[in-house]
Structure formats: structure tokens, C-alpha cells
A and B are shown apart, each in its own frame.
Chain A
Amino acid sequence: MSASAVHSLWTTAAEPISKIDAPKIEYAQLSPTLIVIGAAVVGVLIEAFVPRKSRYYAQVFVAVVALAAAFSAVVALAASGYGTTKAHIAAMGAIAVDGPALFLQGTILLAGILGVFTFAERRLDPQAHGNRVDAFAAQASAVPGSDTEKAAVKAGFTTTEVFPLLLFAISGMLVFPSANDLLTLFVALEVFSLPLYLLCAVARRKRLMSQEAAVKYFLLGAFASAFTLFGIALLYGYAGSVSYATIAHVVDGTITNVDPALAGTMGNDVLLLIGTALVVMGLLFKVGAVPFHMWTPDVYQGAPTPVTGFMAAATKVAAFGALLRLLYVVLPGLRWDWRPVMWAVAVVTMLGGAIVAITQTDIKRLLAYSSIAHAGFILAGVIATSPDGVSSVLFYLGAYSFVTIGAFAVVTLVRDAGGEATHLSKWAGLGRRSPLVAAVFAVFLLAFAGIPLTSGFAGKFAVFKAAAEGGAGALVVVGVISSAIAAFFYIRVIVLMFFSEPKPEGPTVAVPSPLTMTAIAAGVAVTLVLGVAPQYFLNLASQAGVFVR
């Protein structure tokens, strides 16, 4: 018996391989993400092959060039109409290329460039053994205070791995708001979360706090993403598919040509409601909305300040983008169910963030609670369920991310012997000692408070207007009240800086390199331009405010 005959006893010939259709990937439309991922991989290779002395320069160069290239790719896509008329779904239904996606990707990339600048700052910390050092540990694996750590500091090691980690995080964030099926959503969530967990753990000073922040962020983040995944499983059980469009059709009851195998098993509303609740919960965790905000203050305080600034800005942008797409594309048919819940979340988030912030004595914790309150304001725009709601949220996110990065960059400047002086009492009289830095910080605080002529006012106005027109008037009232509460503690910091006597043993303000200066200057410029002349950007956001399905 020949070999082939034996073989045919228990096997049949497979279909020829050529029958499988190769997936069609629109590489040009995915180029922003692909550029950033490619640069991150190059960054890993730099860590492996480039001599230690030149790694820092190589990493910064690669990161900045890649982010700038990705940003110009986003602009080119938007200019050729992918944000409006040519919006469509790429990569076999996995990625949406449309207005909100491109707008948020652009915002994340700009925040990323400023993030690289603050990461690369090497003039703030005093030199260690003649080497300039940045905000990151000499060797993150060395035990704090041990001989290994001292040797690493003496040898002038730096954790240049933060740049590829940052790029990996950004690549996940670029996919997150444009994910068009639940699997892509989950993978993107993990791709941007995992590097952030690590980045939190690598502070040069206060390393125990930094590690503690990383553990808390990691355990709670993994817990939340497990809930998200279970929600995704239930939605898959409900619709028989993880694609946004299919789920939306099943929710609306407009699905055509049902697979007969599916007809009997899909459409169980219990699965839909529980699944939606779990997925939205995971996104609200990333956003930092109130019942799921417990991680925010600790992580913001413990993480290295450049990481905090980047994370506060970019994570919020990415997570709100994903939340908007989920609620507006997949679940508009369910809005009578999710709107009351989101109402409640928005109210407690706005009030909770603003009220707890009053009692804070640490500037980073204060900004963390302020970011929680801002998440509540943005949720008010999400609840509007109108095109204005989308565009106002986009505008708010763009304005907010620059203010946040700028504010945290200022926090890195105010230092004493133990590193950054984050306790509020040490900020007393800062305006007398270094008026420029205090004035810049005051601009950011006024923007957070939403004072006219700053971007914060334009953003809040747009969001509240959309919410009021969308029938959420009561929510706007709560929003205005909590804005007033929030204004109290922002103004308190300004008063503290300008109208109290500086302490003799107070902190000094370090003179940064042009890198941090650029980040702060960009923050101030965007804050003022969006505050004085917001119309162009509001138009841009409203042009970009249509999702593709």
C-alpha cells in the first residue's frame, strides 16, 4: 500500500490554500498607528544595540520624529477627506478611519510629543556623579537604597526604555478610539495600559511610592479590564459577533440575512444589558469616573510627574474616544437604558471630584481630583447624544490635554532637596519668588476652573451647551455648581502662590531645558488661543464629529 493511500484512510484533502482570501489592509490609512508601533520596535532595538551613552539621544530623536511623522500622516488623512466624506472602516472592519478617530489621534500625538519633551528633561535634578539625570530611575530593577542602585547611579545609567514604552502606549491609544470591534478595543486597551503600568514604577525619587502606585494601578487596571473582557464575552454571546456594526444592527433589530445557526441563540437582552454595563465600566475606569476612580489620586501622586502629565492627558482622550464610539455607534438603540446610568455617574463624578479636591494638600493629588471632576464635565457632553455632544467632547479633550501636560510640567519645576516639592504649603509665596512660573501655573489653574479667555471656558461652554440642548438641563446645573466648587480650590492655590509670604526654607524653581519650556509654552499658547479664538477649532471639531458605522 502506498503512503498516500494509507494517508487517505483517516484524512481528506484540505481545500487548496489559495481559496483563503487574503485580508485587505489599507496600510496608508493605518499609517499613524503603524509609524508609532514601528518606532517603538526601533526603540527596543536601540536599547539592545546602541552604546549606552548615545541611547538617550537616539531614543529621543526616534520618538520625536516618529510622532511628528504620525501626526503629519493624520493631518494628511484628514486633508484628503477621511475625516468627513471618505470616512470608512479599514483593516477588515477592525479600525474606523473617521472624523472623531483622526481628531483624537491628532490630539494624542501632540500630547505624546509634549510628553516626550517632558520625559527627556535632564536639567531639573541635580547632576549625579557628573551625569545629567532625568526623572526616571537609574536602574528600575535595583532595590531602592541598595548598593546596586548606588552603583547604577554612579555609573550614570538611565532608564531610556521609557521612550519605547511611551511609544507603545501611544500606539495603543491611537487604536483605542478608532477600534471598530470589541476585540480590537480590548487589545488596544491592554497595549496602552501595560506600558503605563511600567512607566508608573520607574521614578528616580520616592521610589517606594512609585512602585506602590504601579502595583495599585496594575492590580486595579487588570481587574477592570477583566470586567471589560467578560462584558465583551457577553456582548458576543448577545450578537454572535464582536463587530460594532453587527451588534448595533442586532440592538436595533434591523439585522438582515441572519445566519440560521445564529438565529436561535442571539438577541438575549439580559446578555446585552449586563455586557454593556461591564464594558462601559471598564471604560469609565480608564476615564476615572467616580465609582471607579479610586486609583486616580494614588497613581497620579506616585508616578513620575512627566508620566502623570502624559497619562492624565492622553489616557483620558483615548478612553473618552472609545466610550463615545461605543455609546454612539454600537448602543444608540439602547440609549434609554444607558443615559440614566451615565447621568448618575456624571453627577457623582463632577461633585465628588470637586468636593474631595478641596481637602487635598498635595498638588499632584489636587490635580488628580480635578481630573476626576473634568471627567464628569466631559461625561455631560457624552450624555447629550447629539452631533454637538460629540464635537464639544472632542474640543474639550483637545483643550484639556494641553492644559494638563503644561500644569504637570510646571509641577516638575518646583523642587527642594527631596525632589519635587508637591506639598501645597511649600508653594506658598511662589509668586514672589518666581513670578513667571507662578503666573504660568495660574493660567493653567484658571483654565481648569473654566474662567473666560482660557480654553477651559470654551470647552466647558461647548459641553454644557450641548448637554442642555440634548435635554440634560439638570445636569448642566449640577455641572455649574461643581465648577463653582472647583473654582474655589483653584483660586485658593493662586492666592497661596501670590498673596502669602514665602517661607525661608521654601523650594526653589529649577531652570528647565528648552524641552520642558517648549511643553509649558505650548500648553500656555494652546490654552490662550483656544480661549480667545476658539471658533476655528470648534468648527474643526464639529466637522470631525461624525462617526462612521
Chain B
Amino acid sequence: MNPVNYLYLAALLFTIGATGVLIRRNAIVVFMCIELMLNACNLAFVVFSRMHGNLDGQIIAFFTMVVAAAEVVVGLAIIVSLFRSRHSASVDDASLMKL
């Protein structure tokens, strides 16, 4: 199968993730959509790596996974602390600061 098709899939996944970030209201779901975007990036890296015939892209995919894991640690800590003090993880409810 032509590897370019996987690129289209990566772009599609990335768009789904970005759309999710924009329209979903639960901070956890928003965060999952961001993770989906990162995974789409990984797919793109691996596909390019295969197309170019060098390994850089596959190595970068590992780095991305580690970064995503670190991001989960920090992000969930912040979201959980917000949830515990507000009993809601909605990003719309968090609006103490407005213009």
C-alpha cells in the first residue's frame, strides 16, 4: 500500500484531535484530544521515515512518546487539582478571570 495514504490518515487524526480540543468541554477529553494529535504526529514521523528510508523519524517517535508521557504526568496533576477544588473538570466553568 502506498505510504502516502498513511500520511493522509495522520493528517485526519490530527484534525480530529484539533477539532476535539476546540469543541469538547471536559478538560480530560480535551487533553485526550491533544494526545491524539501527538500520536498523529508520531504516525507522520514513522511514515516519512519509511518513505525516506532513514531512521530519524522512528527515533523521534520515541522521543515524542516520552514527552507525551511527561505531559500526562504534569497535565493530569493540574487537571485533578482543579477538579478537586471545583468538583468539575469543565473548561467553561473555569472562568474566574475574564476581561
Give residues in A with beta carbon < 8 Å to B: 140-141, 143-145, 183, 186-187, 190, 194, 197-198, 201, 207-209, 211-216, 218-219, 222-223, 226-227, 229-230, 232-234, 236-237, 240-242, 259, 261-262, 265-266, 297-298, 301-302, 356, 359
Q: Can you report 28 residue pairs joining A to B where beta carbons are below 8 Å apart?
A: A143-B85, A145-B85, A183-B60, A183-B63, A197-B75, A201-B81, A208-B86, A209-B96, A211-B82, A219-B21, A219-B31, A219-B34, A222-B31, A222-B34, A226-B14, A229-B38, A229-B64, A230-B37, A230-B40, A230-B41, A232-B41, A232-B60, A233-B48, A234-B44, A242-B56, A261-B52, A261-B54, A297-B97
The answer to whether the Cβ of B91 comes within 8 Å of any Cβ in the partner chain is yes
Is A212 in contact with B44, judged by CB distance below 8 angstroms?
A: no
Is A187 in contact with B44, judged by CB distance below 8 angstroms?
A: no
Q: How far is the CA of A297 from the CA of B56 in the complex (A)?
A: 38
Interface string of B81-97 (1 = CB under 8 A from A): 11011100001001111
Is B56 in contact with A261, judged by CB distance below 8 angstroms?
A: no
Q: How far is the CA of A197 from the CA of B70 in the complex (A)?
A: 12
- Main secondary structure, interface of A, reads helix
Q: How far is the CA of A433 from the CA of B77 in the complex (A)?
A: 42
Q: Return the chain A residue nearest B52 by Cβ.
A: A240
Contact of A194 with B70 at beta-carbon distance under 8 Å, contacts A236-B57, A242-B60 already known = yes
- Main secondary structure, interface of B, reads helix
Q: How far is the CA of A266 from the CA of B71 in the complex (A)?
A: 31
Is B85 in contact with A207, judged by CB distance below 8 angstroms?
A: yes
CB distance from B23 to the nearest CB of A (A): 13
Ranked nearest first, the 7 interchain pairs of A and B with the lowest CB-CB distance are A261-B53, A226-B37, A233-B44, A237-B48, A212-B94, A229-B41, A240-B52
Is B41 in contact with A212, judged by CB distance below 8 angstroms?
A: no
CB distance from B83 to the nearest CB of A (A): 10
Is A198 in contact with B77, judged by CB distance below 8 angstroms?
A: yes
Is B85 in contact with A211, judged by CB distance below 8 angstroms?
A: yes
Q: Please, which residues of chain A bring their CB within 8 A of the CB of B30? A: 219
Q: Return the chain B residue nearest A231 by Cβ.
A: B41
Is B54 in contact with A233, judged by CB distance below 8 angstroms?
A: no
Contact of A215 with B97 at beta-carbon distance under 8 Å, contacts A143-B85, A242-B60 already known = no
Contact of A218 with B97 at beta-carbon distance under 8 Å, contacts A143-B84, A183-B60, A212-B82 already known = no
